[in-house]
Amino acid sequence: MKIADKVVVVTGAASGIGKELCLRFAREGARAVVCSDIDADGTQATADEIAASGATSKTLVNICNVANEQDVIALVAAATAEFGQIDLFCSNAGIFTPGTETVSNDDWTRIWDINVMAHIYAARAVLPAMLERGEGYLLNTASAAGLLSQVGSAPYAVTKHAAVGFAEWLSITYGHSGIKVSVLCPQAVRTAMTAQGGGVAALDGMLEPSQLADTVIETLDAERFLVLPHPEVLTYMRRKTDDYDRWLGGMRRLNDRFAENYRKRTDSDE
């Protein structure tokens, strides 16, 4: 997919990856960029920055809690009413919750709703019109943790695996109906989520959001499923599937190495 002249919706648009994607899509000549987030001021700031950049893209600001299906339905309806259709929906919003299986039920539910159900709500809302047209693109943000694992966070590892699994299912089920699907799986990117250093994910370096956006544009252009800003992740995936037990042993060693850092992070969040 070429972004030029397309209508793009981005959730989590107030900061980090989402903000950078909005700015980059505008620079690529999108007809319209719908900036959506629960943070009203941050979302407006992203739209204002697009306008100030001189980009010709129209913008729409939408305040949306992606954990609430009615908000997602309203987002899709507003974007469609304003611009006629949605060509690319970037389900990008996500959160990190450190901890083990003992994380509270409320926290498990919250991260599940944002990291998994938000993708499902988006697909429910946007797919009918895309399927009717016979074309459309879904870009779901997961994480390298969804392909590998996440030392120090059971909720993040589990929800990101589920996000990747849902994206795979969408591609398998609707790929012959004109629907393209990609899943974004970075390691550490310099955002508020990684402000404390990125932990294990930063072993291969901390990318700037602009570097990630480069990979997104390249992958969308090629219409490949996996968006891997850190190419090392593909090597790790191959090692994992080649010898699962050996890979688990290596991950245990990583876990031991970073366990104390994650304990300190968990304590500081309480």
Q: Which residue has the tokens 């938000």?
A: 118
Q: Among residues 41, 43, 45, which one has the least CA distance to residue 78?
A: 43
172 exposure class (CB count in 10 Å sphere: 0-12, 13-18, 19+): exposed
| Catalytic annotation present for 236 | no
The tokens describing 69, both together, are 């299906």
Query: What is the DSSP secondary structure assignment for residue 153, as one 8-state letter?
Result: B
Q: Among residues 89, 120, 111, which one has the least CA distance to residue 182?
A: 89
φ and ψ at 160, to 5 degrees? -75, -35
Q: What residue spans of the chain are helical by DSSP H?
A: 16-27, 40-52, 69-83, 105-112, 118-133, 154-174, 209-222, 232-242, 244-269
How far apart are alpha carbons 71 and 60 in whole angstroms?
15
Q: Which residue has the tokens 């893209």?
A: 57
Contact predicate 209/194, CB 8 Å: no
Q: Among residues 34, 31, 29, which one has the least CA distance to residue 11?
A: 34
How far apart are alpha carbons 31 and 98 in whole angstroms?
39
How far apart are alpha carbons 67 and 116 in whole angstroms?
9
At 270, the amino acid letter reads: E
Catalytic option among 137, 156, 174, 236: 156
How far apart are alpha carbons 15 and 195 in whole angstroms?
13
Q: Which residues are known to be catalytic?
A: 156
